[in-house]
């Protein structure tokens, strides 16, 4: 019998709740944005910028291709349906 007070039980309930709250499309969008954000932030850092606002602006700019993909009805990942 499972212990309802165990950390694993708490993790399982949060994971189950998250799966119901966030749709597959939203997860795909967030995953795509995070990858582009990480790449943009790393590129700024490696280019010599240590300014947090510049790195944050790169992250904001990383939203543009994700938004474009979402508006594109021909994109099968998470584009808007026709």
pLDDT tens-place string over residues 2-35: 566 666 766 565 555 555 677 887 888 888 889 9
The rounded distance, in Å, linking the Cα atoms of 33 and 65 is 8
Name the residue among 45, 38, 37, 46 with its Cα closest to residue 64.
Answer: 37
Q: What is the domain partition of the chain in residue ranges?
A: 25-82
**What tens digit of pLDDT does each residue of 58-77 get?**
888 888 888 888 888 887 77
pLDDT digits (tens, 9 = 90+) for 32-47: 889 988 998 899 989 9
Q: Centre a 10 Å sphere on the Cβ of residue 66 and count the other Cβ atoms it contains.
A: 20
Given a cut of 80, whether residue 55 has pLDDT beyond it is yes
pLDDT recorded at residue 16: 58
């Amino acid at each position: 019998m499972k212990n309802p007070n165990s950390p694993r039980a708490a993790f399982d309930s949060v994971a189950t709740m998250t799966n119901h709250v966030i749709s597959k499309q939203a997860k795909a969008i967030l995953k795509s944005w995070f990858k582009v954000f990480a790449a943009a932030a790393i590129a700024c850092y490696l280019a010599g910028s240590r300014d947090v606002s510049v790195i944050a602006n790169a992250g904001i700019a990383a939203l543009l291709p994700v938004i474009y993909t979402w508006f594109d009805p021909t994109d099968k990942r998470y584009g808007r349906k026709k």
